[in-house]
Amino acid sequence: MLSLTFLGTSAARPTVERSVSAIALHREGEMLLFDCGEGTQRQMMKYGVGFTLSDVFFTHFHSDHYLGLVGLVRTLALQGRTEPMTLWGPKGGQRILGAMLDAGYERSPFEITVNEVEPGQVLNRGEYDLEALPADHGSHAVGWALRERDRLGRFDPDKARELGIPEGPLWGRIHKGESVAVDGRTITPAELVGPPRPGRVVVISGDTRPSETLVRLAEGADLLVHEATFSHEEQDRAVETRHSTAQEAAQVALAARVRRLVLTHVSARFSVGAEALQDEARAVFPETVVARDGLEVDVPFTER
């Protein structure tokens, strides 16, 4: 299972309808948190997101993306947490997050480590990688891409039976790439297992202007989460503040040939009536939705 829960979708400040930036990503029983705007721990409770997270990944250190960390950590401490937590973000994270945590409350009962990453750095997480993507939003900002490793190819049970291979451990060994001997014959995986199947890819842009680099790094993604702070009518404002319009986000999705686009980081003026942003984007890339707080998006496997 791979899914995202949008905990906060407003840009810069919360509104009555929207909290500020935070996304919970669930993958095979693991939960990763991307950004942690103010009130994130309450949003997690409201939308049924558990607190069993070990890592928080920040895109940059504007206050609407990290100010909720103290509240989250304090809530976890009051719940008796003892497991360590790791924070990841671009340059400046150790100084900014460290100072905030030191000033925010009494000493945490669990260890908190802050790691800084460079754009292009890849974190090996076993069954998947997390890559810090360059973002065009000032000197120290990143997006994040989760890329699963290739899956095993499809195993052909009917052909296995035809070859007289008894169902059980031998099937598993062949599926994992091991040749086996059956009645004096050697059966190779190539006879029963198809080519490797690609894993899923989720790209989270962070706050950014559109870029050819992002198009290249998001190529073929199953899901692109892209900021859409402004409408096309506010193009000049988007350029000035190094944000994107809904139309620009859709153009990135189209150029990158992603499967689906979710827009977030919506200006407060669109807190109600974000359909205008959705319509603007869908005119370019039809498979688009504008996230609302509490939206859950599943990312299924697809055959390519």
Does the annotation mark 64 as catalytic? Answer: yes
Q: Which two tokens stand for residue 71?
A: 């509240």
The whole-number pLDDT of residue 194 equals: 79
Q: Which two tokens stand for residue 294?
A: 């509490």
Q: Which two tokens stand for residue 152?
A: 């095993």
The whole-number pLDDT of residue 266 equals: 97
Q: Residue 261 corresponds to which amino acid?
A: L
Residue 217 CA: distances (Å) to CA of 58, 132, 156, 277: 18, 10, 34, 24
Q: What is the average pLDDT value for the chain, to the nearest integer?
A: 93
* Range 228-257 average pLDDT: 97
Per residue in 43-89, pLDDT tens? 999 999 999 999 999 999 999 999 999 999 999 999 999 999 999 99
Q: Can you tell me whether residue 67 is helix, strand or coil?
A: coil
Q: What are the structural domains, with CATH classification, of the chain?
A: 2-151+198-298 (3.60.15.10), 157-191 (no CATH)
* Range 147-167 average pLDDT: 85
B/e letters for 133-149, b = 16+ CB within 10 Å, e = fewer, are bbbbbeebbbbbbbbbe
Catalytic residue among 64, 136, 207, 222: 64
Give CA–CA dist 246/31, Å, rounded: 28
Per residue in 81-128, pLDDT tens? 999 999 999 999 999 999 988 875 567 889 999 999 999 999 999 999
The whole-number pLDDT of residue 304 equals: 56
Dihedral in degrees, nearest 10, Cα atoms 247, 250, 254, 260:
-160
Per residue in 248-292, pLDDT tens? 999 999 999 999 999 999 999 887 779 999 999 999 999 999 999
